[in-house]
């Protein structure tokens, strides 16, 4: 006996990827429905070798459905998630709305699978920010060995993290650079993204950081350990898919780079590609479509007593969003719902 599954926001980048991954990982689905806004009603989306026609999210009856994967943004989630949850359907939400709610688990299954046990306080589980998800997969096994004191991370985030319009903006701006008269002014981003980098993701806060940077701090503390100090600089780069991060870690005790490499090789969800030669590392273009979080450039930081540097790359539409949501569903099923 499998699950009755809802995918809300099924026509967006993340929603389509959720459907792909549910099929790829052979999630035990008895029945599945794809929901979208009224303007996308009837749009066809793929689920394995099947084609689904989207139904209207507004007014959908969640009664009798087991799990709903939400990829509809915070505003719509605020309206529909409580309706689904009250109907007995467990919501796995990809927006930021519930991530910092003490009664809502924030889960990365390789890191804190036990957190899903608290799902029934609100019948909602939160999916973390894309940049946080891949980072904590790398940090947790190292933290278990040597306890992390402080993290300094700089991100190189692809435009797909901003949605389809951002992908189109990069594509059209790039073409426009070579075709006189077809130049494209920035709309999604405050500055040109083609052939440029923008150190600004989400809104600015009073202390000068951006909300994306704040999210990485708050979510790492909630998922791994509230005592970890973290500072982030989040940068948008002209890459279509795949987030990269340069992570500097300070530990409470010494951790040798060779031992760290061995720990990461054995850790769930991680693929280590770390050769000290030309091309002996992973770049975003190589991680697209893969489930793994890739780690390269593992090396000692000699400027501090117990320091390590790593390079972390992952497909943000997968591990940063859709894959993590499906893994949460799998964990919820195995630990709590016990179907399939």
DSSP of 305-336? TTEEEEEEEE-TTIIIIIHHHHHHHHHHIIII
**Is 26 annotated in some ligand binding site?**
no
Can you list the positions of beta strands (E) in the chain? 3-8, 29-36, 44-47, 50-53, 55-56, 67-70, 90-93, 124-126, 148-157, 229-236, 243-251, 270-272, 293-301, 307-314
Q: What are φ and ψ of residue 6, in 5° steps?
A: -110, 135
Q: Quick check: is 67 in a domain? A: yes
Asked, for residue 16, whether it belongs to a domain, the answer is yes
Kindly give the interhelix angle for 130-146 and 257-266, rounded to the nearest 10 degrees. Answer: 120
Query: Does the residue 291 lie in any domain?
Result: yes
Distance CA 137, CA 154 (A): 16
- Mean pLDDT computed over 11-25: 96
Mean pLDDT of the chain, nearest integer = 97
In a shared domain, residues 204 and 65: no
Q: Is the pLDDT of residue 63 over 70?
A: yes
pLDDT digit string (tens) for 193-228? Answer: 999 999 999 999 999 999 999 999 999 999 999 999
Claim to verify: residue 118 and residue 90 sit in the same structural domain = yes
Predicted structure pTM score? 0.95
Q: For the chain, give the percent of residues with pLDDT over 70.
A: 100
**Helix or strand or coil: residue 210?**
strand
10, 75: one domain:
yes
Asked whether residue 33 falls in the same domain as residue 19, the answer is yes
250-292: per-residue pLDDT in tens? 999 999 999 999 999 999 999 999 999 999 999 999 999 999 9
306 is in an annotated binding site: no
Same domain, 89 and 142: no
Categorize the per-residue pLDDT at 46 as very low, low, confident or very high, splitting at 50, 70 and 90: very high
327 labelled binding-site residue: no
70 and 145 fall within a common domain: no
Same domain, 75 and 152: no
Tell me the pLDDT band of 39, cut-offs 50, 70 and 90.
confident
- Structural domain of residue 268, as residue ranges? 131-158+197-314
Supply the residues annotated as catalytic: 130, 243
CB 153 within 8 A of CB 232: yes
d(CA 59, CA 78): 15
**74 and 103 belong to one structural domain:** yes
105 lies in the same domain as 41: yes
236 in a labelled binding site: yes
Residue 31, in any domain of the structure: yes
For residue 234, give the CATH number of its domain: 3.30.360.10
Cα dist from 284 to 139, 157, 208, 232, 335, whole Å: 19, 10, 28, 19, 33
Q: What is the pLDDT of residues 289-326, one digit of tens each?
A: 999 999 999 999 999 999 999 999 999 999 999 999 99
Q: Is 173 inside any structural domain?
A: no
Over residues 174-182, mean pLDDT: 93
Query: What CA–CA distance (Å, rounded) separates 340 from 337?
Result: 9
Query: Has residue 151 got a pLDDT over 70?
Result: yes
Any binding-site annotation on 334? Answer: no
In a domain, 172, yes or no: no
C-alpha distances in angstroms, 33 versus 47, 57, 228, 271? 10, 10, 40, 33
Residues 251 and 121 occupy one common structural domain: no
Residue 2 has pLDDT above 90, yes or no: yes
Which helix or strand (DSSP H or E) is residue 222 part of? helix 211-223
| Of residues 42 and 124, more confidently modeled | 124
CATH of the domain at 84: 3.40.50.720
> Buried b / exposed e across 259-268, counting CB within 10 Å, b at 16+?
ebeebbeebe
Give the separation between CA 253 and CA 271, rounded to whole angstroms: 25
304 inside domain: yes
| Structural domains in the chain (count) | 2
Co-location of 150 and 261 in the same domain? yes
101 in the same domain as 113: yes
- Please check whether residue 10 lies inside any domain of the structure: yes
Q: Which residue in 146, 125, 236 sits closest to 186, CA to CA? A: 236
């Amino acid at each position: 006996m499998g699950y009755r599954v809802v995918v809300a926001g099924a026509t967006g980048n993340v929603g389509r990827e959720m459907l792909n991954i549910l099929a790829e990982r052979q999630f035990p689905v008895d029945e599945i429905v794809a929901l979208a806004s009224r303007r996308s009603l009837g749009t066809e989306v793929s689920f394995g070798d099947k084609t689904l026609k989207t139904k209207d999210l507004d007014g959908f009856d969640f009664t009798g459905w087991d799990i709903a994967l939400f990829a509809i943004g915070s505003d719509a989630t605020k309206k529909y998630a409580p309706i689904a949850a009250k109907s007995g359907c467990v919501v796995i939400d990809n927006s930021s709305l519930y991530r910092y709610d003490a009664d809502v688990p924030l889960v990365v299954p390789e890191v804190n699978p036990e957190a899903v046990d608290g799902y029934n306080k609100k019948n909602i589980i939160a999916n973390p920010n894309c940049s946080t998800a891949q980072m904590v997969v790398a940090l947790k096994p190292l933290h278990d060995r040597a306890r992390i004191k402080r993290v300094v991370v700089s991100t190189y985030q692809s435009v797909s993290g901003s949605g389809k319009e951002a992908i189109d903006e990069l594509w059209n701006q790039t073409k426009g650079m070579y075709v006189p008269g077809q130049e494209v002014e920035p709309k999604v981003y405050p500055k040109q993204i083609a052939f440029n980098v923008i150190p600004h993701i989400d809104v600015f806060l009073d202390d000068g950081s951006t909300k994306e940077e704040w999210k990485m701090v708050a979510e790492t503390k909630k998922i791994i350990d509230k005592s970890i100090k973290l500072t982030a600089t989040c940068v948008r780069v002209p890459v279509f898919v795949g987030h990269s991060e340069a992570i500097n870690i300070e530990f409470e005790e010494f951790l040798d780079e060779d031992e760290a490499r061995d720990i990461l090789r054995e850790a769930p969800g991680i693929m280590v590609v770390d050769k000290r030669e030309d091309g002996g590392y992973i770049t975003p273009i190589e991680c697209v479509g893969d489930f793994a979080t890739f780690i390269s450039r593992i090396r000692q930081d000699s400027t501090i007593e117990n320091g390590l540097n790593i390079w972390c790359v992952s497909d943000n539409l997968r591990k940063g969003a859709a894959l993590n949501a499906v893994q949460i569903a799998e964990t919820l099923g195995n630990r709590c719902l016990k179907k399939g």
